[in-house]
Amino acid sequence: MSQTLTHKILAQHLVSGELRPGSDIALTIDQTLTQDATGTMAYLQWEAMGLPRVRTQLSVSYVDHNTLQMGFRNPDDHRYLRTVAARYGIVFSPPGTGICHQLHLENFAKPGTTLIGSDSHTPTAGGMGALAMGAGGLSVALAMAGEPYPLTMPKVCRVWLTGQLTGFASAKDVILHLLGRLTVKGGVGVIFEYAGPGVATLTVPERATITNMGAELGATTSIFPSDEQTLAFLRLMGREADFIPLAADPDAIYDDEIHVDLSTLVPLAAAPHMPDKVVPVAHLHGLRVDQVAVGSCTNSSYADLKAVAEILAGQRVVPTTDLLIAPGSKAVLKMLSHAGLLDVLLDAGARLLECACGPCIGMGGSPASGGVSVRTFNRNFEGRSGTQDAQVYLASPITAAFCARDGRFTDPATWTADLTPPRLPARVPSIRHLFLFPPEDSGSVRIERGPNIVPLPPFDPLPERLTLPILLKTGDNITTDHIMPAGAAITALRSNIPAISEHVFARVDAEFVARAKAAGQGCILGGENYGQGSSREHAALAPRYLGVRLVIAKSFARIHKANLINFGILPLTLAQPEDYDRLTQGETICLDTAALAPNTGITATTTAGATVALTHDLTGQEIAILRAGGLLNWVNAKKQSEDSCA
Ligand code: MIC
Ligand code: SF4
């Protein structure tokens, strides 16, 4: 039977289930990646499983999120990650080498493989024809243990590309266009598979920009075929042997289809404070820009930075606009330097940052109060930049460069520049020697921990009856940045749950933590798409530590829902969305968890006497995990019972 590209890869990795939308499947995972901000927790959980060595084909631990090292916390984390990697057979990418997704694309991603990463932008590797998904750290730890990765089979939507990008439109505008059309929840439960004659016109880094930011659609992942462009990229990276051709069968049937004519696209920008608030750049003409930041896992390839250099060649950025540039990897930085483009950027007034996430996650580079910042990144959630009232716009490197040159948004119709097409460079210097490959015989490697590495708190099983005050009622599209803010100071506490839990919902409601502590236990009431954005499991772990046992919402984002289950927080959906209006913060919800069963609704009552119908799509196994108090408890109990039977 004819198959989509997605089905081909899934079929090859299927351990259980049927490839029918909505059915529960489990996949073997070939590769995993982690980054430092989620990695320490992932490896603490890995250690708690007591296995001698990872069982994947390849696992890589990157350090890119928090490299500021203000005090001992980050360096402690980095040292722990380096030693744990050597001990358990994991490749280690030291701080400053580059951003995890850009490095993985350049050095390790392979067409036709499965990859899960403890970062929501793991689908970047879909630009290379890998089936790559973001997941919580605990899910990644289990994949490293060789456990199949459970997933609800998504719908597969074909994105049929025709034409070719023209003028100043670029790959970023393709995904911004889709975000404008589909919104930040338009891709929940969907894999976007790109096809059509337009595909061949896009290089692998351009494809990776599109699959990267597919995460903002809420998609499970996005994927491009593996073709001549893929071969050219792999050859350039000295990895021709990793190439296999891969595409959908011509008459494959899809669950859905969208058409995009690349030739009609114009430069776009996402306005504050959501990636789907997309407007044509022309509509922003005249708006003063205080800061421009180029980089992030979305747009930090050589071609991206080359475009910026070509636009700024021989010019000086206006003095009222700060230009920050963070290359995606040391290879990109070396290429810029070899091509003489680093000089161009520095002479234009750019501030060169480390090859890391940097301002994208609020690690420095915050805009001034109320400042307009144009960023080539993927998220512009309120406060994420570190400045609560900053106005952050997301745009392509080309748009960003014109904003830097002019100190304001200008109409693309007025732009002129000698831009070369975003072709691959002729040669890429290897930085492979910078990775630390684990020794074969690693049993004696000593894992080094500092005072910032605090063991995981134990969690009790789910009580049979929950009587919980609604600690917080939120609106729609609450992000994990709202639940567990990032930024330098808070991210430095990622290995210390008691300490980081002091910041839960800090930017939404400064009283939340005190209220949760006073109540001892509680629940959250959310709107649509609760928990969108990052994969950070701290957005589940820290609320759980504060006693949150239940989240009731109109709908959930995929990774966050999985994280809630992993940490024993019950995610239930309102059967009647109108009930959301009837429930108020402070009132108490009562629920018999003994009644939880697959495909069965459950009724809660409030102390005011109202009944609330709740639904869920939890599997039997997920209910068992919740009853055990979380995945780690469940896995360890399973192991113990297997050991006692052996
Ligand atoms: C993000 O872009 O929000 C992050 C920081 O990369 C997160 C991971 C994290 O919170 O550590 C993500 O996208 O998953
Ligand atoms: Fe890093 Fe930003 Fe990419 Fe997250 S979105 S991985 S913080 S560059």
What is residue 638's predicted lDDT score, i.e. its pLDDT? 85
Please report which ligand is nearest the Cα atom of 491: 1
Query: What is the sign of the dihedral through the CA atoms of 333, 337, 341 and 346?
Result: positive
What is residue 641's predicted lDDT score, i.e. its pLDDT? 82
- Please name the residues in contact with 294: beta carbons below 8 A apart, sequence gap of 6 or more: 300, 304, 305, 308, 323, 324, 325, 326, 375, 376, 397, 400, 401
CA distances (Å), origin 637, targets 142, 150, 593, 596, 633? 15, 19, 20, 20, 6
For ligand 1, whether the C-beta of 361 sits within 6 Å is yes
For ligand 1, whether the C-beta of 38 sits within 6 Å is yes
**CA nearest to 192, candidates 132, 250, 269:** 132
What is residue 531's predicted lDDT score, i.e. its pLDDT? 97
In whole angstroms, give the CA distance from residue 408 to residue 411.
Answer: 10
**CA nearest to 395, candidates 371, 407, 378:** 378
Query: Residues 53-66: pLDDT tens digits?
Result: 999 999 999 999 99
Give the residue-averaged pLDDT of 516-528: 98
* Closest residue by CA, ligand 2 atom 3: 297
Give the residue-averaged pLDDT of 188-200: 98
Give the residue-averaged pLDDT of 173-193: 98
Q: Which of 62, 77, 103, 121 to mutate to test the pocket of ligand 1 (most atoms within 8 A of CB)?
A: 121
- Please list the residues that pair with 257 across neighbouring strands: 158
Please report which ligand is nearest the Cα atom of 483: 1
What is residue 384's predicted lDDT score, i.e. its pLDDT? 96
Query: Residues 134-177: pLDDT tens digits?
Result: 999 999 999 999 999 999 999 999 999 999 999 999 999 999 99
What is the pTM assigned to this prediction?
0.97
Q: Which of 297, 324, 378 to mutate to test the pocket of ligand 2 (most atoms within 8 A of CB)?
A: 297
Above 80 in pLDDT, residue 30? yes
Above 70 in pLDDT, residue 124? yes
CB atoms within 10 A of CB 642: 9
In which band, very low, low, confident or very high, does the pLDDT at 240 lie, cut at 50, 70 and 90?
A: very high
Give the residue-averaged pLDDT of 241-265: 98
Helix H, strand E, coil C: the string for 382-406 is CCCCCCCCCEEEECCHHHHHHHHHH
Measure 408 CA to ligand 1 centroid, in angstroms. Answer: 29
Q: What percent of the chain has pLDDT over 70?
A: 100
For ligand 1, whether the C-beta of 120 sits within 6 Å is yes
Query: Residues 294-329: pLDDT tens digits?
Result: 999 999 999 999 999 999 999 999 999 999 999 999
Measure 486 CA to ligand 1 centroid, in angstroms. Answer: 8
Q: What percent of the chain has pLDDT over 90?
A: 95
Give the residue-averaged pLDDT of 364-368: 97
**CA nearest to 632, candidates 568, 569, 570, 546:** 568
Above 90 in pLDDT, residue 113? yes
Q: Which atom of ligand 1 is nearest to the CA of 119?
A: 14
Helix H, strand E, coil C: the string for 193-207 is EEECCCHHHCCHHHH
Give the residue-averaged pLDDT of 353-382: 98
Please compute, for residue 397, the number of CA atoms within 13 A of its CA located in the half-sphere on the CB side.
Answer: 28
For ligand 1, whether the C-beta of 535 sits within 6 Å is yes
Per-residue tokens: 135: 């997941």
Per-residue tokens: 356: 């890391």
Q: Which atom of ligand 2 is nearest to the CA of 361?
A: 7
Please report which ligand is nearest the Cα atom of 485: 1
For ligand 1, whether the C-beta of 534 sits within 6 Å is yes
Above 70 in pLDDT, residue 550? yes
In which band, very low, low, confident or very high, does the pLDDT at 579 lie, cut at 50, 70 and 90?
A: very high
What is residue 646's predicted lDDT score, i.e. its pLDDT? 64
Please report which ligand is nearest the Cα atom of 540: 1
* Closest residue by CA, ligand 1 atom 1: 534
Q: Domains in the chain and their CATH numbers?
A: 5-264 (3.30.499.10), 268-416 (3.30.499.10), 465-644 (3.20.19.10)
Measure 462 CA to ligand 1 centroid, in angstroms. Answer: 28
Query: Residues 417-462: pLDDT tens digits?
Result: 989 988 888 899 999 999 999 999 998 999 999 898 998 889 999 9
* Closest residue by CA, ligand 1 atom 10: 536
CA distances (Å), origin 432, targets 60, 305, 346, 489? 13, 21, 27, 31
In whole angstroms, give the CA distance from residue 129 to residue 111.
Answer: 4
In whole angstroms, give the CA distance from residue 308 to residue 267.
Answer: 15
What is residue 636's predicted lDDT score, i.e. its pLDDT? 86
In whole angstroms, give the CA distance from residue 339 to residue 324.
Answer: 20
In whole angstroms, give the CA distance from residue 38 to residue 135.
Answer: 10
Residues with a known catalytic role:
64-65, 119, 379, 534, 536
For ligand 1, whether the C-beta of 37 sits within 6 Å is yes
Per-residue tokens: 582: 């009837």
Write down the mean pLDDT value for the chain.
96
Measure 612 CA to ligand 2 centroid, in angstroms. Answer: 39
